[in-house]
Every structure is written in C-alpha cells, then in structure tokens.
C-alpha cells in the first residue's frame, strides 16, 4: 500500500522539459501564433507552468521534411507532470502545422 502512495507522489512532481518545434513555413502568422498558443494551453490546463518561449524564426532544415527545405523554429521551456509527456507528444504528432518536434526532460 505504501508503494502506491510513493508512485502517486512522484507523479505529482513537476519536471523540467524543453520542447523544440519545427513549424511549417506555409502557415500564416496567425496560424503560427495559434499553434504556439495551443501547445501552451495544453501545458497550463494540465497544471504545468511555462517559463520561456523563444521564437527562433525561419531556418533552413538540415534535410527536406516532406517537401519543405525550411521551417519556423520555436523553443519552449516548461514544467509538467511526467504522466502528460506522452499525451503532449501524441498531440504534436497529429498536428499538420508541426513538421517535427523534440521533447526533452531535463534532469536537475
């Protein structure tokens, strides 16, 4: 019984994450901001906190993704419960505007 309690307490802790998004260069500025807002809303609605969102702008890709040779990069730093990491990645995978993403858990 005590081991279940320990697991529950660990799941409640917020972990530090970094998320890099490569967004399609064909999206408008409004769609670009809406994509970032959707990711931010997902994090905050699940009890996470966002510390920084850096828009790196359009950059040339190392290799073509679908038919694109450039993409708009965004770096987000946030805290989130580990249980929601898989759900976040699933949502990012189905988004048509996001070409690639990389979610990294930072160990402190």
pTM for the full predicted model: 0.84
Average pLDDT over residues 69-82: 96
Instruction: Let me know the angle formed at the C-alpha of 81 by 43 and 13, rounded to the nearest 5 degrees.
Output: 135
- Tallying the residues shown for the chain, one arrives at 108
Domains of the chain, start order: 14-106 (3.30.70.60)
Q: Nearest to residue 18, comparing CAs of 55, 59, 52? A: 52
Is pLDDT at 4 greater than 50 in this prediction? no
Query: Distances in Å between the alpha carbon of 62 and those of 15, 68, 85?
Result: 30, 11, 26
**Which pair of structure tokens corresponds to residue 9?**
């307490």
Element (H, E) at 101: strand 98-106
Residue-wise pLDDT for 32-53, tens only, equals 999 999 999 999 999 999 999 9
């Amino acid at each position: 019984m005590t081991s279940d309690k320990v697991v529950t307490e660990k799941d409640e802790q917020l972990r530090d994450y970094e998320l890099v998004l490569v967004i399609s260069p064909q999206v408008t500025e409004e769609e670009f901001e809406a994509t970032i807002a959707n990711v931010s809303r997902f994090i905050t609605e699940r009890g996470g906190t966002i510390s920084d969102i850096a828009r790196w702008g359009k950059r040339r890709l190392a290799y073509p993704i679908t038919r694109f040779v450039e993409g708009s990069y965004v770096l987000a730093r946030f805290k989130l419960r580990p249980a929601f990491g898989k759900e976040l990645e699933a949502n990012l995978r189905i988004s048509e505007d996001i070409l690639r993403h990389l979610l990294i858990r930072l160990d402190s």
